[in-house]
Amino acid sequence: MNLSEKAEKGSTRFRYIKLCIFFSGLSVFAQLYLFQPMLPTVAEYFKTTAGDSSLLVSSSTIGMAAGLLFFAFKADSYSRKKLMTFSLLSSALLTLLSAWIPSLSILIAAGVIKGFVVSGVSAVALAYLTEEVHISVVGLAISMYLSGNTIGGMSGRILATILAGEFGWRNAVLIIGLQSLLLGLVFWKLFPESKFFNPQKTDYSLKVKQMRKFFTDPYLLRLYGIAALLMGTFVSVYNYLTFRLEAKPFSLSHFVIAFIFLMYIFGVFGTMITSRLSTRFSRNLILKSSVVFMLSGTALLLSENIYVVIFGLGLFTLAFFAAHTMASQMTALHAKQGKSSATSIYWLFYYFGSSILGSGTGYILHAFSWNIFITILLFSVAISFILASANKDLKEIKMS
């Protein structure tokens, strides 16, 4: 099929792809992190610690990482649309079921399963976009997907906080599950089938060869390391900032804290800004600059002035999504073959970082102090900058 038949800006097919890929990101991230702002409430309900309650977030991301490892081998065996539709609908049903689970340990187990099934979206979304969308608007399409991730994460957290405060955390989970089910049904009806990909039987020897290539490619390994460290830092801040803001000297209410998650709007700006800048500057320069801004935002979270903290959180959020958008684009564009495997490994590291740092730093915070916690995160971001600096720019793909 001629490359000119790929979805171009302004076409009906491109509009449906943009809308549905946005909805998929919205659903995945609203579900994946819905417990994050409710951790203090859930910890009190189950009479447990911050670190233990954070397993409700980490369980989903561990499941996501396991699913991505599975789909790194199997994703190309399934229709892109059917896999994503199954992931969205089955995860929504598991979220609905979670509203009635009586035990924390069973709730954590359900989170692992939900993370596994929803990973089908992340495993193939970037591959689908690079296959089906014209190269001139691939950056825009990927930005729409990541914007859906961002807004899903934001709306899920804000809704969960407000709904939990008004109606209890179980009803909050129920409402977000219903919203995710509706988004999954819309996706099923409107998302275009692939034109440039056909499911193929898994050739395990080929996949192992591709995996070995990706795991021995220094350029990709550095991007994977950046994904793990930056995502782990990002989740750590949003996991435990609620505890920080509830305590002195801030002593903020649940309702006010809910609107702290509006900082995710800056994440949308981050994804959009990078899609524009990537046509004028090298991707690696944008990545390095984003990491520097994220380092600055993290440092500002040490302040005891609420306005400085809010400014720092906005800068931190914008910079994280800018860096993530750039790193994920660089991964998808660098992999000439086995794109779904390459991007699955990227997400695998991304969610391992979220799980390990996201829970591990909770125990550090519990044992030490907020300042030690932030110092550990600054160290993680600094390592990411070193990794980004080591990645020399490859020949850029002209986006025109």
CA distance 2 to 4: 5
Place of tokens 């000297």: 249
Q: What is the pLDDT of residue 1?
A: 45
Read off the pLDDT of residues 20-40 as tens digits, 9 standing for 90 and up. 999 998 899 889 888 887 888
What fold characterizes domain 9-193+201-390? Growth Hormone; Chain: A; (1.20.1250)
Mean pLDDT calculated for residue range 144-158: 80
3-state secondary structure of 1: coil
Q: What is the pLDDT of residue 393?
A: 56
Picking from 34, 21, 166, 157, the residue whose alpha carbon sits closest to that of residue 91 is 34
Mean pLDDT calculated for residue range 328-345: 80
| The pair of three-digit structure tokens given for residue 314, joined into one six-digit string | 């906005």
Q: Is residue 107 over pLDDT 60?
A: yes
Picking from 129, 215, 138, the residue whose alpha carbon sits closest to that of residue 396 is 138
Q: Which residues contact 88 (CB under 8 A, 6 or more apart)?
A: 24, 27, 28, 118, 121, 180, 183, 184, 187, 188
pTM: 0.76
CA distance 386 to 396: 21
Bond from prior residue into 249 cis (ω within 30 degrees of 0): yes
CA distance 163 to 181: 18
Residue 357, classified by CB atoms within 10 Å of its CB into exposed (0-12), middle (13-18) or buried (19+), is buried
CA distance 300 to 303: 6
Angle at 295 between CA 294 and CA 299, to 5 degrees: 115
- Percent of the residues in the chain that have a pLDDT greater than 70, as a whole number: 97
| The pair of three-digit structure tokens given for residue 4, joined into one six-digit string | 């000119």
Picking from 31, 119, 27, the residue whose alpha carbon sits closest to that of residue 343 is 119
Higher per-residue pLDDT: 72 or 307: 307
Q: What is the pLDDT of residue 4?
A: 55
397: left (phi over 0), alpha (psi -120 to 50) or beta: beta
Confidence band of 281 (pLDDT split at 50, 70, 90): confident
Q: Is residue 392 over pLDDT 80?
A: no
